[in-house]
């Protein structure tokens, strides 16, 4: 099969197309023909091994390969079609159109991927193309996890820092659908996008510092590495919740103290991506409570350009790579 591979860490140019062996499904596994994969910030970080949150470098380098990448095919989030299933698989059959997360196994930048039946995979929302569906699981699963942990109530004031990114854009939609008043913080070029997704208010971080506005919030959802922890905690209402999806080591250490010693709660957990959570997301998509936000779609041969687009940070939504055949229209 064809795959976008990389054999050394570096800039987008290390990505190239290669022929690699097609995997086969084991007893409890499914073989999926990938049709689209999101090119994510995480893929770019794994490719370059540059992390804004520095403590992640060592554990990830040990896991992914000290001198060169152990897993040559990137891609954590995808949509595709089941081609074959192992003898003990009961919940999927050949022909099923699916989407989901490959988790740390990666591999969605290849024409075929094998995943365990119990991975975070679900039937593709019928009202989405493969490209649109591939743009959902990263943002949807991570945002759902944090929004659920925040137990948002209707009318609460929610601040989303990094709101125009893959995770933030889904968090806006989820918080808005729960009846929250959402304030989004991101670069000014993303204002129209985040307002369209349900943000009531917008702060351009390149012009204004949200921590000096004098405003307070019930929930702060923060995806920006290196944001000012103490000042953000100071913006919480009594009983407020701060959720950080990209914590520095110092935030990890201080979070327990804040939760124990104050009336505020800090959550820094990484999202467990589950089948049940993806099923919830699918229901919300089919009920038109969540939409997919695709910025640009690139063919496999332009993976380098796709990663450049993610890294220039000018994108309005997800960058998607179509794998193999062209996409097909969604059902109405
Ligand atoms: N906790 C978890 O489970 C988990 C899971 C997946 C990923 N992550 C990590 O979380 C991070 C975000 O993921 P993502 O995929 O949503 O990234 P993303 O798509 O790049 O989104 C980040 C957003 O934050 C904006 N931003 C940058 N600096 C800002 C600032 N000072 N104030 C406000 N907004 C700012 C960026 O805008 P610009 O265009 O201006 O840069 C961008 O729109 C990544 O580093 C990723 O590795 C965590």
Nearest Cα residue to 75 out of 27, 128, 32 = 32
Interval 61-113: pLDDT, tens: 999 999 999 999 999 999 999 999 999 999 999 999 999 999 999 999 999 99
CA-to-CA dists, residue 265 to 150, 178, 258, angstroms? 9, 20, 7
Q: What residues flank ligand 1, with Cβ below 6 Å?
A: 40-42, 45, 142, 161-162, 164-168, 185-187, 205, 223-225, 245-246, 270-271, 313
What's the pLDDT score for residue 258? 92
- pLDDT tens profile 134-181: 999 999 999 999 999 999 999 999 999 999 999 999 999 999 999 999
Q: Are 135 and 317 in contact (CB under 8 A)?
A: yes
Is residue 269 pLDDT above 80, yes or no?
A: no
Residues of each domain in the chain carrying CATH 3.90.180.10: 2-136+293-322
Ligand 1 atom 10, closest CA: 246
Q: What CATH class has 2-136+293-322?
A: alpha beta
Number of H helices, E strands in the chain: 10, 15
Q: What is the mean pLDDT of the chain?
A: 94
In tens, the pLDDT along 283-331 reads 999 999 999 999 999 999 999 999 999 998 789 999 999 998 777 777 7
Domain 138-267 classification at class level = alpha beta
CA 223 – ligand 1 centroid, Å: 5
How confident is residue 199, by pLDDT bands cut at 50, 70 and 90? Answer: very high
Tell me the CA–centroid distance for residue 224 and ligand 1, in Å.
5
**What local confidence, expressed as pLDDT, does residue 331 receive?**
73
| DSSP code, position 278 | H
Query: How does residue 248 score in pLDDT terms, banded at 50, 70 and 90?
Result: confident
Nearest by Cα to 244 from 44, 236, 290 = 236
- Euclidean distance between CA atoms 261 and 301, whole angstroms: 53
Residue 332: is its pLDDT beyond 70? no
- How far is ligand 1, taken at its centre, from the CA of residue 196, in Å? 19
Q: What percent of the residues of the chain are helix, what percent strand, and what percent coil, each to the nearest 5?
A: 35, 25, 40
Report the interhelical angle of 303-312 vs 41-48 (nearest 10°).
100
Read out DSSP for 56-95? GHHHHHHHH-SSS-SS-B--SEEEEEEEEE-TT--S--TT
Q: Which atom of ligand 1 is nearest to the CA of 245?
A: 1
- The stretch 217-235 carries a mean pLDDT of 94
Cite the residue boundaries of each domain of the chain with CATH code 3.40.50.720. 138-267
Average pLDDT of 228-250? Answer: 92
What token pair was written down for 116? 């365990």
Q: At what angle do helices 137-150 and 275-286 cross, to 10 degrees?
A: 100
pLDDT (tens digit, 9 = 90+) per residue, 33-70? 999 999 999 999 999 999 888 888 999 999 999 999 99
Residues in the chain: 332
Q: Which of 73, 57, 101, 92 is nearest to 17 (CA)?
A: 73
């Amino acid at each position: 099969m064809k795959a976008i591979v990389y054999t050394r860490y570096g800039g987008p140019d290390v990505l190239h197309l290669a022929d690699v062996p097609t995997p086969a499904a084991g007893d409890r596994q499914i073989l999926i023909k990938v049709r689209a994969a999101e090119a994510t910030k995480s893929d770019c970080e794994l490719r370059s091994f540059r992390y804004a949150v520095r403590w992640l470098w060592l554990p990830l380098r040990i896991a992914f390969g000290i001198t060169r990448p152990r897993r040559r095919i990137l891609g954590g989030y995808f949509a595709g079609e089941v081609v074959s299933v192992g003898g003990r698989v009961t919940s999927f059959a050949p022909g099923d159109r699916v989407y989901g997360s490959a988790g740390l196994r990666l591999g969605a930048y290849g024409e075929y991927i094998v995943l365990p039946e119990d991975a975070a995979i679900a039937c593709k929302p019928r009202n989405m193309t493969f490209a649109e569906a591939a743009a959902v699981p990263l943002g949807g699963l991570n945002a759902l996890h944090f929004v659920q942990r925040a137990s948002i109530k209707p009318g609460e004031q929610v601040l989303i820092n990094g709101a125009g990114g893959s995770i933030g854009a889904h968090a806006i939609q989820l918080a808005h659908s729960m009846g929250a008043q959402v304030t989004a913080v991101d670069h000014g070029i993303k204002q129209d996008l985040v307002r369209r997704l349900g943000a009531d208010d917008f702060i351009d971080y390149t012009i204004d510092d949200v921590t000096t506005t004098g405003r307070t919030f019930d929930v702060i959802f923060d995806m920006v590495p290196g944001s000012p922890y103490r000042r953000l905690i100071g913006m919480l209402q009594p009983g407020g919740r701060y959720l950080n999806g990209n914590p520095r080591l110092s935030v990890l250490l201080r979070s327990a103290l804040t939760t124990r010693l104050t009336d505020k709660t800090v959550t820094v957990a990484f999202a467990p991506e589950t089948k049940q959570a993806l099923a919830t997301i699918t229901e919300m998509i089919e009920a038109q409570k969540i939409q997919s936000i695709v910025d640009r779609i690139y063919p496999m041969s332009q993976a380098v350009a796709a990663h450049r687009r993610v890294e220039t940070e000018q994108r309005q939504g997800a960058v998607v790579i179509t794998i193999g055949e062209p996409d097909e229209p969604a059902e109405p």
